[in-house]
Structure 1
Amino acid sequence: MHRYGVRDVEKLLHLPRSTIRALIAAGFVSPARGPRSAWLFSFQDLIVLRTAQALADAKVPQRRITKSVRELRRHLPDAMPLSGLSICAVADRVVVREGSGRWQADSGQYLLEFEGDPADGSLSVIERNTAAEARTSAPEWFDKAVALEKEDTEAALAAYEQAIAADPALLDAHINLGRLLHEAGRFAKAEQVYRDAVRTCGSDPVLLYNLGVLLDDMERKAEAMEAYEAALRADPDLADCHYNLALLYERLERPKDAIRHMARYRALIGSRSN
């Protein structure tokens, strides 16, 4: 593995030695020690240093920077890919991509593009700080997220988070964010999104139904039942909720309740087809 001294870092990243020392002292990187205890940095250290500095320049709190760069390090390759490297971050999520042309700069808080090979003494860093995002409204973030869902799930998740940050009461953004996280198997995060939305947006039937489906998939049947029942209190004609409750009650060996909800489901479906 190629190692870089402090002078290499200064030259490649255009960071003064005082900044490098400060970033090390903050715990963002832990370089190895070489002869005479000189710092030796890995390729990953270079990327983390530059990303941490970009976040610090953007006035991101240190605790969030620490969490972001810890996540970043887990996804970095050992060396610079031939196609380059792109890093996008929103809130505490950091997404790493090989190649520099596949990120939309306005889909995240900041975008860094790295090209060249630091092992050869060349590294080009292009920073796209999206100051324009402050002017992007919650509905605009929401529309971007919807458009991104099929082609880039991570970017869609990031855009939904931006929509919620811009307008915490935007219910559809909470619902879609939770659904995407659920589909991705990130159950704990999805549950957090749904429960935060209930506190912020109230007892919306679709929101509660989605929470019930999630809890059902997590085998937390009693909690799923409560969520489904709450959804039906908000909207007694939510047919899919009656259907899911019927199946759940059947598994819980409560046949009368299962029959009641299945009958209601069939009545609702029948009335729609007439």
Structure 2
Amino acid sequence: MNRRERRAAAAKQSGKATPAALCQAGFVHFQSGRIADAELCCQQALTLDEHHPDALHLLGVLCFHAGQPDAAAEWIGRAVQQAPKAEYILSLATVLERQGRLEDAQQHFSQALALKAEDAGLWNHIGNLLWQLGRKDEAAQHLQQALTLNPRYWEAAHNGGMLLLELGRHAEAVACFDVAEKLNPSAALYQMRAVCLSELNRFEEAQADYEKSIALDPDLAETHNNLGLLHWRSGRLEQAFACFDRALGLRPDFHAVLNNKAVVLLHLQLLDEAFATLQKSLAAAPADAQTLFYLATLQLLTGDFERGWLAREARWRLPSVGLVDRGFSQALWRGDQPIAGKTILLYSDEGLGDAIQFARYVPMVAALGARVILEVEPPIQPLLGSVKGVAECIGRSSTPAFDLHCPLGTLPLAFGTRLDTIPFAQGYLPPPSATRVQAWQDRLQARLGPLNRFRVGLVWAGNPDHKNDHNRSMALRTLTPLLDCDVQFVSLQKGVRDHDRVFLNQRPDIVDLTEQLTDFSDTAALISCLDLVISVDTSVAHLAGASGAPVWTLVPFNPDWRWLLERDDSPWYQSMRLFRQRERGDWASVVDRVRVELDSLRSARRQDQPSLLSA
């Protein structure tokens, strides 16, 4: 018999049993598994003092262990009312958490934390609870405080790293994983830290961590897959395929790996192999949105629009694409019902170039008798607001009443567009206002003097945040062979990057008035003052094509689906010529071909207009 048991027995023998002594005896019984005796002691204590907090609390604990959470919450809640001790509050919070009442549990845990602010375990527990509640920033703060209080707290370090990774705060996640690694390294930890390092472009460190993970556990297919992606990103194709194949050897139906392998095959233009790999992926996961989206890309790229448009609707289920389901209560229109007399909201769902490309369908929607409200981003609002059939052009901040809605990117599906039925390829944007055009003519003349040279607009880079920017953009310096042509180059490049700005400042022969471009209507007016636009695959190429202006688009080896394959024209824009890379990353040969064609065009134009060029 221990001291507590002796004291409880002595209290009974003396006949002076008190609530405190009975509670002590009840606790001893509880620890020894004598639940009925423990409950009897609690009842006796409450007979003497119906508000005795220890008895109320212990009775609640007994109910909790007996699988009676409602009764437990009632008894412990009464104890808290009598004496809001941290012990009681924590017990109540635990019961509430077990009941699934997470918000209530979190509030009580936080109340206890005010009484036990140095308890690292409590900070960690509340952090995990907040994470479950979706309050991730607060959760991260709690986990980090737990780690501050106890720098050797592996669980707080590991959980903090995982949460920060989920939040996209990769540098902070790495710091947490560094702590966790010193305490208890594991294959899973190295894998997660490698993911963060890769996102931070610390590729060599990421590769080292993936290899450590594989050394500890070579049977994690996810690690081989991630290492394969890293090799692919670094241009090491043989190693990438080897990693994907090792992952598939471990899990033959791992559809994410099959998808990744298919994407690499697509980038290498090995289309038959890419199709076959995606079919295997679909067999493993028939409804997988990523697989369907990749398949749609291949179908559209090869001109199979009928199946491609439908499969492309899987993009709405892809968080990586960044599309947001607007949650409209009104019906989605996909060409499957009459719309005469109704108001339809057409809205931009992808980039600026996509909105310009698909705005060609607006007149067709209006021709069906609908009143069209067009919602697009501010830089293209004045431009697309003038498209025939637009009754009202708005931004997202103010959406008026409407009956139906349709994303612009779904309109090709709604109209059953085939390769031979693409509408308005000759151009569909109305000409810019004469006032704007004259303003740009005056600016150019003020800068250049008499406008008697062949004028060419240049765009060499797209949005740096675009996931394919490394593939479609180039450095301005890459165009150096072209810049020696006897033409007047005019920059149309907004958002010039630092290294390009240095080069641009060294080339006063390139006229740069882009600071005066306020929106795409201004850019359209400037383009109308030029003889030709040369652009990488970005929104200005779409703007020129939609305006019917001559445009040469520089296309990477692995092109976006809309440029199709093995053709130097575009069915989307009659005024466009395509200049394709013949090998991955080879812009030099593209620039050389453009220079030859530009010299030829300039010479032909000089012969056709001798008086203009000699004025």
* TM-score (norm. length: structure 1): 0.47
* Higher RCO structure, 1 or 2 (CA under 8 Å, sep 6+): 1
